[in-house]
Amino acid sequence: MLANAFYNVLYQIATLLMPIITTPYISRILGPEGIGEYVLGDTYSQYFILIGSLGLALYSSREIAYVRDNDDLLRKTFWELVLIRIPLVGTASIIYFVIFFVFGVKESYVNKIFLINIISSIFDISWFFIGIEDFKKRALKSVIIKILAVVCVFFLVKQANHVWLYALIICSGNLLGQLVMWPDLPTNIRRISKLTLCSFKRHFKGSLSIFASIIIIRIYTLFDRLMLGEMANNSSVAFYDNSQKIIRGIATLLTASIQAITPRLANYYINKQEKEFQNNNYNVFRIVNMLGFPLCMGLIGIANTFSVWYYGEKFMGINLLLIVGAPTIISLGWTGVFSNNILISTGKQRVLTIAVFVGALTDVVLNLFFISKYKSLAATLSTLAAEIIGLLIMLYGVRKILPIKPFFTGSLRYLFLSLCMGMFVYFIGFLLPISILSTLIQVLCGGFFYILGLILLKDSVFFDLIYKLKQFRKK
C-alpha cells in the first residue's frame, strides 16, 4: 500500500511539476491575456470530457477494485467499461467539433486544438491500473512524457501569439500519455469477453449515480473561470487560474495517498472487513492533517516573496489570492477522505451529491454578487466558502458510517505547530531579499522547524510514517 502511495505521489508530482516549472516562463511569454485564452479553451474542453465520460473514471476504478480477485469477472468488467466509454465520449467529441469547427463559436485556434484533449479521454484506462493498485507503470511513463512536454514548451513557445502551440504541446502530451498505457494491460485482460446489454445498463446507471456529484464539482470549479471571463476579463481569469494551480497542486500532492488507498478501501468494504476499513480511514486522515496544516501555513508564509519572482511583474497582487485561498488545501484534503475513501467506497453517493450541489450553489451565488467588483479575489473566496459548506455536509453524512471524533485526534497540535511555523517562515522572508534562494531558505527552515516540533512532541503519526518509509526502502 505504501508503494502505491509512493508511485501515485510520483505521478501527481509529474503532473504538478509541468505547470510549476513552465508557469514563470509562460507567464512572461504569453502574458495574462494569452494565459486567459488558454485557460478558457481548456475549460470548454473539460466540460465536454466531463459530460461525455459520465463519471466513469471514478466508478470504473471502484468496479475494478470490487472484482480484481476474479480473472474472468475482471476481464469482462474491463471491456464493458471500455466499450461503454467509446460512444459516450465519441458523441461529446462530435458535438464539440460541430460547435467550434462548423459554427465557429468563440473563434480561436486554441479551442479547436483542445479537441485532441477530448479524443484522448476515449483511450483513458488509468482507472484499470488504479483499481488493481498498479500505480508504478503509470507514474514512470507519465514522468517521461511530462519531461518531454516541458522541453518542447521551452524550446518552441517563444512569442505572445504562441498560445496555440502551447495548447498543442499540452494536448498532444495528454493523448500520448493515454496511448502508452495500453501495452501494459495484463495478457489475460486483452481478450474481449462475451458482453451483455444488461451489464452496459448496470454500468450506465452506476456511473450516473457518481456522475451527479462529479459534474457539479467540475462545473462550479470550471464555472469560476467562465464567470470571470464573461463578467471581468481574461487577465482576471489568468490571475485566478495561476493561483489555483499552486493551491490545488499542493492539495493534489496531499491527497495522492488518499487516491492510492481508495481501491483497497472499496475492496475492504465489499468483503465486510470493517475494522481494516475504519482504521485505514482514520490513519489517512491523520496523515492529511499532519501534512495539510503546515502546507497551508507555509504557503501563506512564502506568498509575498514567492509570487514576485515566480509570476513576474505582470502578476503583481496575486500573493493575496494565494494567502486567501491557502485554507482550501486543508478542505480539499479532508474532502478527499470523506468523499472518495468513505462515501464513494461505501456507495453513499447521495450525501456527496447533496454536499457538492449546495457548495456549487453557494459558489455561483457569491460569484454573481461579487465578481464584477472584486474579480479574482471574489472567485477565490467563493471557492473556499463552497468547499467548507460542502465539507460540513459530507461530515454530517460520514457520521452515520464511522465515528467522527477519532478523525480529529491530534489536529489542534498540528494547527498550533503550523501557525508557529508559518510566522517563522514569514519573518525569514521579511529579512531576506526577494529571490528563488530566499524562498528555498524559507521552505527548508519551515520544514526543519515543523519536523523538529513533531519530534519534540513525540507525535505517533509522524514516527509511524517514518517507520513505514524505512520498511519501504528496505524492499
Question: pLDDT band for position 436 (50/70/90)?
Answer: confident
Structure confidence at residue 72 (pLDDT): 80
Average pLDDT over residues 131-157: 82
The H or E element that residue 434 is part of is none
Smallest Cα–Cα separation from 443: which of 294, 298, 322, 297?
Answer: 298
pLDDT in tens, 267-281: 666 667 777 777 777
Average pLDDT over residues 166-189: 86
pLDDT in tens, 201-227: 777 776 766 666 666 666 666 677 778
Given a cut of 70, whether residue 6 has pLDDT beyond it is no
Given a cut of 70, whether residue 472 has pLDDT beyond it is no
Q: C-alpha angle 236/367/219, rounded to 5°? A: 90
Predicted structure pTM score: 0.71
Instruction: Enumerate the domain spans of the chain.
Output: 1-188, 204-407
pLDDT in tens, 25-40: 887 888 878 888 888 8
Smallest Cα–Cα separation from 173: which of 91, 114, 249?
Answer: 114
- Least confidently predicted of 87-96, 173-182, 310-319, 343-352: 343-352
Question: pLDDT band for position 168 (50/70/90)?
Answer: very high
Average pLDDT over residues 378-402: 89
Cβ burial, residue 231 (10 Å; 0-12/13-18/19+): middle
| CA atoms in the 13 A half-sphere facing the CB of 250 | 23
Structure confidence at residue 1 (pLDDT): 54
Smallest Cα–Cα separation from 144: which of 8, 10, 3?
Answer: 10
Structure confidence at residue 28 (pLDDT): 82
Given a cut of 90, whether residue 2 has pLDDT beyond it is no
| CA atoms in the 13 A half-sphere facing the CB of 177 | 24
Beta-carbon contacts of 291 under 8 Å, excluding residues fewer than 6 positions away, are 254, 333
Residue 185, φ and ψ in degrees, nearest 5: -60, 135
Average pLDDT over residues 426-455: 91
Given a cut of 90, whether residue 300 has pLDDT beyond it is yes
Question: pLDDT band for position 177 (50/70/90)?
Answer: confident
Average pLDDT over residues 102-115: 78
Average pLDDT over residues 33-53: 83
Average pLDDT for the chain? 82
Q: How many residues does the chain have?
A: 475
Are 255 and 332 a contacting pair, CB within 8 Å?
A: yes
**What is the percent of the chain with per-residue pLDDT over 70, rounded to a whole number?**
83
Cell 493498485 sits at which residue? Answer: 133
